[in-house]
Structure 1
Amino acid sequence: MKLTFLALIAFISTYSFGQITFEHGTLEEALAKAKQAKKPLFVDVFAVWCGPCKQMAATAFIDPEVTTFYNANFVSLKLDGEKNDGPGVMQKYGISAYPTLLYFNANGELVAKVVGGQQAKQLLLKGKEVVNPEGNPVFVANKTYQKSKKKQEDLKAYVQVLADNEHDSLSKYAAEYYKKYPALNLKDPVELQVFKSAVHDYNSPLSKEFLSNDANVKDQESYLGKINDYFMTTYQAAKAANSFEMMEKMVVELYPHLQKCNIPDLPSQADYIEYVKSQFLK
């Protein structure tokens, strides 16, 4: 309850700064308005039941810097993917998850598509990239990489820029790096980023190395984020196989690592397994 109350206070204080001004008509109408205004179009494709959509609406969309930049540089549209022209837009642009963010230039051409909730910093970086691609470090790094011989050091330099800018392409190029050079050195900052983005099996030797190194626990947000990644990956596999045993095995394996973290009111392993089971069987 305390966390909910604090989140509400944060929401109220941030809301006073304003929010992105969204159109609520059709995509065709918004594209016409953007063309007339000679501005790019930003589209938030959402669903009313989508948790990450609500989270982004209550945080990134009301961030003062994001609000100022998007209202000055974009025409913006909120599009319910399940109503009016939403289903048609979903089909036309291959959208299968909420939220999905679409960016069109002033001529109505799709120039970027981002899947999943974004933090304010990510939203601002993507907006700046669309408005002025030549001045964006990711754009420059991409041009450099595409012109290179694509050796390991070339890909590594590009991944570093993507990681530094929290770019949505990081997962793609981190996966490419890991596929080509799987013997990652977790003491190398860039290869550690590759690991965090591309390795999802908690049983892999690299995961065991990461989890067993107590130095990594100091960055609790990153450490718990990786454990959450393992939980979500295993959950999807377990649901597909209809096997709670997979989840139970994972909890037993990862619980000692949760105990290393400063988690208030962490339940016992047995209680945690029961909780995970109740969620799994829903």
Structure 2
Amino acid sequence: MRFLYLLALLSFLQLTTIRQTQAQEQIRWMQFEEAVQASAAVPKLVLVDVYTDWCGWCKKMDKETFTDKDVIAFINAHFYPVKLNAESTDRSFEFRGKSYTEASIAKAMRVRSYPNFILMDARMENITQLPGYRKPKDFLESLERLMENFMQGED
């Protein structure tokens, strides 16, 4: 009986550790207005993932690319990451004196395909768009190149 109790306890502890590790190994997504505030306080690049609920490639990015440990570590270290539903009008927020929904700001950013990734500087100015699905390695390489080019332009 003690053996079963000990086995159950060890299984519980192992599951708890796995869940904690998985929770730590996630991209810390923000809402757009949270990234604006965070970037104003501590300047950092902003990566906006513009998606729709019906987009199969967006779901594939979430399932395969955004769960990759290297992608997670890179995004969390270098960006304020934002998830933006290009069709959502559920909530509104203020940005530069205007009221927006997620749908209206995606339109203002001229996003026309999904998934689409907007790279913004710390002043919340659009630097570029990175449209389309990318495998983890390709996505990381694209982000690294964009960051290198941006940093060279800042000098």
TM-score normalized by the length of structure 2? 0.69
Which residue of structure 1 aligns with residue 50 of structure 2?
45
C-alpha distance in structure 1 between counterparts of 2:37 and 2:127, whole Å: 16
Give 5+ residue unaligned stretches, structure 1. Answer: 1-14, 140-282
C-alpha distance in structure 2 between counterparts of 1:102 and 1:59, whole Å: 19
- What's the CA shift string for 1:102-134, capped at 9, x where partnerless? 110111111110111111122212222343327
- What's the CA shift string for 1:16-42, capped at 9, x where partnerless? 48222111x2x3432232232211000
Structure 1 ranges of 4+ moved more than 4 A: none
- Give the secondary-structure state (helix, strand or coil) at the position aligned to 2:58: helix
Change (3 A) 1:134 1:98: closer
Give 5+ residue unaligned stretches, structure 2. Answer: 1-20, 90-100
Which residue of structure 1 aligns with residue 72 of structure 2?
67
- What's the CA shift string for 1:221-244, capped at 9, x where partnerless? xxxxxxxxxxxxxxxxxxxxxxxx
Which residue of structure 2 aligns with residue 95 of structure 1?
111
Which residue of structure 2 aligns with residue 120 of structure 1?
136
C-alpha distance in structure 2 between counterparts of 1:135 and 1:108, whole Å: 15
RMSD between aligned alpha carbons?
Answer: 2.3
Larger Rg, first or second structure (1 or 2): 1
The reply to whether residue 21 of structure 1 matches residue 37 of structure 2 is no
Change (3 A) 1:122 1:112: farther
C-alpha distance in structure 2 between counterparts of 1:70 and 1:82, whole Å: 24
The residue type equivalent to 1:104 in the other structure is M
Question: Structure 1 vs Structure 2: percent identity of aligned residues?
Answer: 26
Of structures 1 and 2, the one scoring higher in RCO (CA 8 A, sep 6+) is: 2
In the TM superposition, residue 81 of structure 1 has moved relative to its aligned partner by 0.9
Kept after mapping to 2: 8 A contact 1:63/1:120:
yes
C-alpha distance in structure 1 between counterparts of 2:33 and 2:150, whole Å: 28
2:120 to 95, 104, 107: 104
- What's the CA shift string for 1:76-112, capped at 9, x where partnerless? 0111111131221122111122111111011111111
C-alpha distance in structure 1 between counterparts of 2:39 and 2:141, whole Å: 20
The residue type equivalent to 2:110 in the other structure is G
> Hey, which of these two has a bigger chunk of helix by percent?
1
